[in-house]
Amino acid sequence: MIKKSIKSSEFDPDCRLCPRISRHFDDIRSVYPSYHCGPVAAFGDKKPRLLIVGLGPGLHGANATGRPFTGDHAGILLYQMLYEFGFSNQAIATHKNDGLKLHNCRITNAVKCLPPANKPLPTEIKNCNSYLQAELAALHDKLVILALGRVAHEAILSAMNLRKKDYPFAHNAVHEISSVSYLLDSYHCSRYNTQTRRLTEDMFRKVFSTATRLINEQN
């Protein structure tokens, strides 16, 4: 595939800036020809109070369906919590046309494409950061940004030109990034983290309780 430079920071569904990921897509399409296999756009309310930032699409999840956290294990707990706290109209996400709608919430990823072994290279995270920067710039000031995992946490800081040492990652930690906005951290809701109980349902529920409290305090 032809290497493409980012001319605009807006989401590009045809982006092929990362050669390794582009080759990976070619390999996946040969096995799963019906899969989305491309950059995955953000999903949800265009003017949210809660922005959730994950790591990147899962092989049989967003990479297959074309919607963040849809169709894979990582989305099970996430959409359950979104429904429980009133951010979605249903607790299950299976495909793009399943009727799911988000309220006051938007979901995106630090890396828009599926990297090999689910491990993006630093250059790939950097290549995608201008897209995240544009997404953040388009949102209103009163915002709670929920980072799912350290990679997302650090990508958000890079997009906002904030120093990593001033905002250390820790589960359920709250960082004030302006007078009216916050960065909230959580362990990622991946299969590994939930099965090893590094992240339990109760721990994740407390994160959403924190997010809800912060949003209410902003009003």
Mean pLDDT of the chain: 94
DSSP reduced 3-state for 28: helix
The answer on pLDDT for 6 being more than 80 is: no
| pTM for this prediction | 0.94
CATH H superfamily, domain 44-218:
Uracil-DNA glycosylase-like domain (3.40.470.10)
The mean-pLDDT minimum among 1-5, 113-117, 152-156, 187-191 falls in 1-5
- 46 Cβ contact list (under 8 Å, min separation 6): 106, 138
Average pLDDT estimate for 83-110: 97
Q: CB–CB of 147/183 below 8 Å?
A: yes
The answer on pLDDT for 4 being more than 80 is: no
Strand extents, DSSP E, the chain: 43-44, 50-54, 105-109, 143-148, 174-176, 181-186
Angstrom distance (rounded) from CA 46 to CA 30? 34
Q: CB–CB of 1/15 below 8 Å?
A: no
pLDDT digits (tens, 9 = 90+) for 32-83: 999 999 999 999 999 999 999 999 999 999 999 999 999 999 999 999 999 9
pLDDT digits (tens, 9 = 90+) for 103-140: 999 999 999 999 999 899 999 999 999 999 999 999 98
